[in-house]
Amino acid sequence: MADRLFSFSANRRLVAGLLVNLLSSICIVFINKWIYVHYGFPNMTLTLIHFVVTWLGLYVCQKMDIFSPKSLPVRRIVWLALSFCGFVAFTNLSLQNNSIGTYQLAKAMTTPVIILIQSTYYKKTFSTKIKLTLVPITLGVILNSYYDVRFNLLGTVFASLGVLVTSLYQVWVGAKQHELQVNSMQLLYYQAPLSSGFLLCVVPFFEPLTGDGGIFGPWSLPALVTVLFSGVVAFLVNLSIYWIIGNTSAVTYNMFGHFKFCITLIGGYLLFHDPLSLNQAFGILCTLAGILSYTHFKLVEQEEGKSRLAQRP
């Protein structure tokens, strides 16, 4: 009975974490795109603000006794902090220089890259059934993005770098939580300010400090409020990413990312009457079929693993 109650509580927390990530991730995409298009706010500075707000949010949580910090050696999380900078910066640059469709299509390539990294360097095995679920998911995202894909050289470079760094970052998030025996808040609490420091050192070399479009330029009050709000949403995104990967896996998190993509398209069609072609509808069905298949096969494998452990003497 106690095990059943614990399982129910854990599942409820997982659902809550997925819901927070779903809402905040969809929100941050459109807020950032709005900031780039309507205000021309510098990309790296926006990323730095996201890092700082994330750390401040965790500092408040720590003061409220929501979690207890754990002392971590800096050298153990340096590469994670650097990959965090690259993950957010290249993702934002991809969004800034590509259409929404191209941006989403590039993100779909993260899942197979993660599987490749984990199989090659971490010797993690994935069943053929799990690998085959990538086929309908990738096909679905391609069909969904087909009418909004516009490639350009700079955007393609940023998108490719974003996929590589994002894949490494998500693999390391789960690995470091298990390696250092910390939870998502404890790891992010030390990693966010370290990432902020790295980015602060390079921002002045890539973005103007003063004048129109500069870091200390004459920004309007609506622009500053929108940027600050994007930082709060980014805090929720970063925290939920760590929490989901720490409690599931990087591959599972990416599968959920494809689900978010489908929800975004369906929501746009139902709420704002955005055009939805037959190919896009078929793509959504393909993606959802792949996600459901992955979930089914993953649950079956987990149950089989528990049965084997229970049968051991």
Residue 92 predicted with pLDDT over 80: no
Q: What is the pLDDT of residue 233?
A: 93
**pLDDT on residue 84:** 79
Band (pLDDT 50/70/90 cuts) for residue 36 is confident
By the 10 Å C-beta count (0-12 exposed, 13-18 middle, 19+ buried), 289 is classed as middle
Task: Give me the mean pLDDT over the 292-299 stretch.
Answer: 78
pLDDT higher than 70, residue 151: no
Average pLDDT on 140-166 reads 78
Q: pLDDT band for 4, please (50, 70, 90 cuts).
A: very low
State which amino acid sits at residue 310: A
Q: What is the pLDDT of residues 254-277, one digit of tens each?
A: 777 777 777 766 766 676 566 767
The whole-number average pLDDT for the span 235-239 is: 87
pLDDT at 305 over 70: no
Q: In terms of pLDDT, which residue wins out, 306 or 118?
A: 118
Q: Where along the chain do its domains lie?
A: 37-209+219-302
pLDDT of 228: 92
SS (H, E, C) the chain: CHHHHHHHHHHHHHHHHHHHHHHHHHHHHHHHHHHHHHHCCCHHHHHHHHHHHHHHHHHHHHHCCCCCCCCCCHHHCHHHHHHHHHHHHHHHHHHHHCCHHHHHHHHHCHHHHHHHHHHHHCCCCCCHHHHHCHHHHHHHHHHHHHHHCCCCHHHHHHHHHHHHHHHHHHHHHHHHHHHHCCCHHHHHHHHHHHHHHHHHHHHHHHCCCCCCCCCCCCCCHHHHHHHHHHHHHHHHHHHHHHHHHHHCCHHHHHHHHHHHHHHHHHHHHHHHCCCCCHHHHHHHHHHHHHHHHHHHHHHHHHHHHHHHHHHCC
CB 239 within 8 A of CB 185: yes
Q: Calculate mean pLDDT across residues 149-155.
A: 74
CB of 58 closer than 8 Å to CB of 44: no
pLDDT at 298: 77
pLDDT of residue 230 exceeding 90: yes
Rounded-to-integer distance, Cα 308 and Cα 77, Å: 35
Rounded CA-CA distance 234/117 in Å is: 26
- Average pLDDT of the chain, as a whole number: 79
What pLDDT sits at residue 1? 44
Give per-residue pLDDT as tens, 97-110. Answer: 877 667 777 777 78
- With 50 as the cut, is the pLDDT of residue 95 above it? yes
- The pLDDT of residue 312 is 61
| pLDDT digits 0-9 by tens, 171-220 | 888 888 888 888 878 888 888 888 888 888 878 877 777 776 677 777 88
Q: Give the Cβ contact number of residue 144 at 10 Å.
A: 29
Q: Pick from 75-79, 146-150, 284-288 the range whose average pLDDT is largest.
A: 75-79
